[in-house]
Structure 1
């Protein structure tokens, strides 16, 4: 008997040539999905056969009952809609279900269609191989163990096999326990202890006592391997509250810590201190082993050296990085700065030259170092009608526009991004133009930024709502390029967007901030629902930005950082003496804020090309960061 889904897909194949069809009501589909109304979804699937979004009800019909569907239904859907983001999404769901059913032959067939399988699916793939007594790929999973962080439960049978084969040993188990404690994941460390016989020292009761009073428990620890790890964990907990006390204890413990453990303790304390801009961070890191560091830890080694002004250490630490990491723009730029500071001019200029063809933060800084600013025309690139028609006819673009029209923004973005793969520069610019005409400003920027040789800066740095934004900036005596640069990063000009934290509108105002600003501006008739109104949002956002700019004496770095992370944090991150502005930015502890400040200020430099009195050089926006008064 032919399944319902297969019948639906057959009917859609027969209707593909239809020139007219009713548009799928996505709101009705959403309600049917929420109600798990499978008969209604099936009706919608049949009614929408042949139209661009026909796959969506079919996907939900399958996904909602994935544990019951027949393999032929899943295969029919995947074959009917190949190379689409929704098929890729369903394939991942279906692979997990096949693993749960232990249908390993089917799993391996579908797995081969994935481009970037998750760790969970890679572990299921190894389980599939083990099920047919093939252990040839087992060792390739060892790296998942050494990630040091919890991974999907699908990897546990793989880890079992690695331990049974001897590829992983008890020393490897203790290494991962140590990393779990280093990340303050005591419960995970306790779970891992099963790999080493579940020593009583690592019981839930003992771990709770140590976490509650690490100083008290430290004196009670013995010499077992478990106690060694607990001693390091206690020192880490103490260091999080009182770094100086932890440093004294490491010194006082002396021979109670092996040389290896001493160096690890200094490493953990130094890295924590570096993230808090502690003045002793660099000294403590100098006593450390500096082994088994992930990329974020390696970055903080660099930042601690920058903060200390130790350019020799900056050079050494960057050159010690793995080649793949060392080649990233951040490290290349700071290596050039280290060379420049140490009078290695030729080496510095060679790196600056390699970065100077970019339009990002490091590209702009490098151009200024060389004195060769790239020209940015504000004349739009002229597209021909054929290019526009070609892109507008792409199925993924059609789906994205339809989804966006009905408010399915997340799904629209997925479709759009997927459709942009492998497009030429002119096709990307045509797509950007099409998105802008449909007020999908975020997707327009996404497409325009992907060009390699042919650029259109009016699409990369658009100015929608120009009258409202220019007026708000002028009213508060703000540089309009800065306001545009901030909005581009905050909302990508999507006026009704809301973040997970409930920030809203073009300038992403939090409800409490909006209420405070409304009071300051004496907007007596302000209502919370007004926050996404373009005129109101930009006027309130500009007032808030100007308020903190005045508090920070016009320093755009501190103001921008404060807009994102709060003014208290922006103040706290200053040093006891004057700071190079680029070092302040690079050593911002919050990765989101660090990236935000770089992008907002480089955006502003690009937007400055629209305004004769605005600074196009990034360095003109980077004022020295003064110490606290």
Structure 2
């Protein structure tokens, strides 16, 4: 079947295999010329590249350069025609954004209004359109005020609109105060200060009072008159700093402010969630005080987790029974229902639920299989070739452009083309696209595209093992299971060597540069540069060494080490229980949703990688050790 699929893919139109190195070199040289405004000097190259998949990138670069110096209506018409003819071409989209901004600067209002789609072009261009209507003598006050009435800063393109509102007397003190309140409730204190300076002295004193109590929530008990929604917001900030103080203040605040039912619910909800996430016994009492008809999936889940943490098994059964059907069917609650039934002695009902769940390839499915002593169900089912779907995929020019950009090392631009591609494919074609990306070695796109196709059982695509020598060598030196290293790599970066997170983490195992430098220094290695961290061997070596440090920190406890890799060891120390605890219970109650899911995913991924690397699996029951409150030889393990 695999041979047939490869044969079917050989004929893909516009593939990189059909392009010569000379063409690629010529394209890069011509693109550089276009970006410098010299495209007209290369007529021969343009003719040679006429059928090249990225030919339109040259035109986009040329027009983008011309836009900086040419203010003519003729250029506007050329750009309009180009972006209209290529609505899905990423550089055309980028050009369109710069063009709309240029039209605003040049006050080409009619052209701007004809080009802007206020429903799809985002806030900045919506502001440009309102600005254009104002400049043409209109009075779009309704649209302008809608843009004003938000609790965060708006793009610079909105400034002329807001200036018009102010100059025309439409920004009353009430309007300014309304926005200041919205900004406060979203935590944008700088915007509140800015708006306060626009208010008369008596109104400005009000925003000053809001800011004072918001920044010093311990003053809430003695604060003067406050708007109820502001008081509720400050109450939540107080609860984050001092949960017991907020709990003590709650009845007095309700009596003083007489909040409505929704506001009272919000305060009680916050207390319940914080007590649950702090693993305090008061959590269940506060959940019992909530109107369960208002509770969403997050709140219902934490009520169950609080009962699990306290091992109140009858309450776990009752709470899961009362879940909406779509929530009750989630694997997490199916497992804990079975576990609670077993803990209360209903072995027959527990076994039936465990057996159904044990058929799933997942963290909770593996826990269920362990409960019954069953082998794990990996349910591998490779994706079958589909000639018709391949034809639909082949018909998309974005596929050829993405592959060519990959061949040129322009992965970021290739990713934009891939996004265009997958947005146009049906489920079957998405599956074939995932196989194509896998064959290119573009694993993040293969995995995410297969998920978009809602196909989960091709483990070859979903669990590849690239950079095997580098990972195996690094894992061996660090003394960790290569399957564990791959599980962390997949969870962190989906196998991307050069990816950077918004926080600055780099590469396969998403190392922060500071962490990488520390690990290198501790191991007598040279300080790695940022570029060096994009090298798979370097990154894997330092990443697995840091993972080893986390394992050593927690005496080999996989759950604690994995959680520490994600959230930091000091934070994990604060989450340790007062008494030794079953690891599944502790993992279920990790306060951060990201970290909780991270640990569950990593343990599930490790299972599959073990099978793929060694054709054997160590059950979770043997891998996950009890969570102890502190270790005899580590007096700091339970301290923050």
The TM-score, its normalising length taken from structure 2, stands at: 0.69
Task: Identify unmatched segments of 5+ residues in structure 2.
Answer: 1-17, 162-173, 632-640
Q: After TM superposition, list the pairs within 5 Å mapping 1:496-575 onto structure 2.
A: 496-523=498-525, 527-528=528-529, 530-575=532-577
Q: Contact between 1:575 and 1:627, CA under 8 Å: does it hold in 2?
A: yes
Deviation at 1:221, TM superposition (A): 0.9
Deviations 1:406-457 (A, max 9, x none): 3322221121243235657775565445434543232233344455569532
Structure 1 position 81 matched with structure 2 position 52: no
Distance 1:29 1:513, change over 3 A: farther
Of the candidates 420, 441, 444, which is equivalent to residue 442 of structure 1?
Answer: 444
Distance 1:43 1:572, change over 3 A: farther
Of the candidates 17, 34, 37, which is equivalent to residue 39 of structure 1?
Answer: 37
Distance 1:191 1:414, change over 3 A: same
Deviation at 1:111, TM superposition (A): 4.6
- 2:539 and 2:528 map into 1 onto residues whose CA distance is 12
- 2:267 and 2:536 map into 1 onto residues whose CA distance is 52
Question: Residue 246 of structure 1 corresponds to which residue in structure 2?
Answer: 246
Q: After TM superposition, list the pairs within 5 Å mapping 1:332-371 onto structure 2.
A: 332-337=330-335, 339-341=337-339, 343=341, 359-362=361-364
Deviations 1:501-542 (A, max 9, x none): 44334333333333333344333x564354444334333332
Question: Residue 257 of structure 1 corresponds to which residue in structure 2?
Answer: 257
Deviation at 1:19, TM superposition (A): 9.6
- 1:526 and 1:233 map into 2 onto residues whose CA distance is 45
Distance 1:125 1:548, change over 3 A: same
Deviation at 1:559, TM superposition (A): 0.9
Q: Contact between 1:387 and 1:426, CA under 8 Å: does it hold in 2?
A: yes
Distance 1:19 1:549, change over 3 A: closer
- 1:355 and 1:218 map into 2 onto residues whose CA distance is 50
Question: Residue 200 of structure 1 corresponds to which residue in structure 2?
Answer: 203
Larger displacement relative to structure 2 (147-156 or 281-290): 147-156
Q: Contact between 1:391 and 1:397, CA under 8 Å: does it hold in 2?
A: yes
Distance 1:479 1:613, change over 3 A: farther
- SS in structure 2 opposite 1:560? helix
- SS in structure 2 opposite 1:562? helix
Deviations 1:153-192 (A, max 9, x none): 99999xxxxxxxxxxxx9xx98x98886555445667899
Distance 1:372 1:209, change over 3 A: same
Deviation at 1:53, TM superposition (A): 1.7
Question: Residue 164 of structure 2 corresponds to which residue in structure 1?
Answer: none
- 2:99 and 2:358 map into 1 onto residues whose CA distance is 45
Question: Residue 54 of structure 1 corresponds to which residue in structure 2?
Answer: 55
The TM-score, its normalising length taken from structure 1, stands at: 0.70
Deviation at 1:554, TM superposition (A): 2.0
For CA contacts below 8 A with separation 6 or more, give which structure has more relative contact order: 2
Deviation at 1:496, TM superposition (A): 3.9
- 1:355 and 1:119 map into 2 onto residues whose CA distance is 46
Distance 1:424 1:284, change over 3 A: closer
- 1:355 and 1:284 map into 2 onto residues whose CA distance is 32
Distance 1:515 1:150, change over 3 A: closer
Distance 1:383 1:332, change over 3 A: closer
Deviation at 1:50, TM superposition (A): 4.1
Deviations 1:263-320 (A, max 9, x none): 5433334444444445534444444568977776666555545544456766777788
Deviation at 1:569, TM superposition (A): 1.9
- 2:440 and 2:207 map into 1 onto residues whose CA distance is 57
Task: Identify unmatched segments of 5+ residues in structure 1.
Answer: 1-17, 158-169
Q: Contact between 1:481 and 1:614, CA under 8 Å: does it hold in 2?
A: no
Q: Contact between 1:148 and 1:180, CA under 8 Å: does it hold in 2?
A: yes
Distance 1:614 1:492, change over 3 A: same
- SS in structure 1 opposite 2:37? helix
Distance 1:216 1:396, change over 3 A: closer
Of the candidates 280, 286, 299, which is equivalent to residue 282 of structure 2?
Answer: 280
Deviations 1:127-164 (A, max 9, x none): 999x9x9x9x99xx99x99998888899999xxxxxxx
Q: Contact between 1:264 and 1:288, CA under 8 Å: does it hold in 2?
A: no
Question: Residue 269 of structure 2 corresponds to which residue in structure 1?
Answer: 267
Distance 1:447 1:278, change over 3 A: same
Larger displacement relative to structure 2 (578-587 or 394-403): 578-587
- 1:347 and 1:154 map into 2 onto residues whose CA distance is 62
Distance 1:618 1:178, change over 3 A: farther
Q: Contact between 2:335 and 2:353, CA under 8 Å: does it hold in 1?
A: no
- SS in structure 1 opposite 2:511? coil
Q: CA RMSD in A?
A: 5.6
Of the candidates 483, 491, 494, which is equivalent to residue 493 of structure 2?
Answer: 491
Deviations 1:64-88 (A, max 9, x none): 7499686644542244224455556
Question: Residue 402 of structure 1 corresponds to which residue in structure 2?
Answer: 404
- SS in structure 1 opposite 2:330? helix
- 1:319 and 1:128 map into 2 onto residues whose CA distance is 57
- SS in structure 2 opposite 1:561? helix
- 1:352 and 1:284 map into 2 onto residues whose CA distance is 31
Distance 1:242 1:624, change over 3 A: same
- 1:367 and 1:107 map into 2 onto residues whose CA distance is 62
Deviations 1:579-620 (A, max 9, x none): 443443344343433332232221111111124475264555
- 2:29 and 2:301 map into 1 onto residues whose CA distance is 49
Larger displacement relative to structure 2 (341-350 or 266-275): 341-350
Structure 1 position 374 matched with structure 2 position 372: no
- 2:321 and 2:90 map into 1 onto residues whose CA distance is 40
Across the two proteins, how many residue pairs are aligned to each other? 583
Q: Contact between 1:53 and 1:399, CA under 8 Å: does it hold in 2?
A: yes
Question: Residue 235 of structure 1 corresponds to which residue in structure 2?
Answer: 235
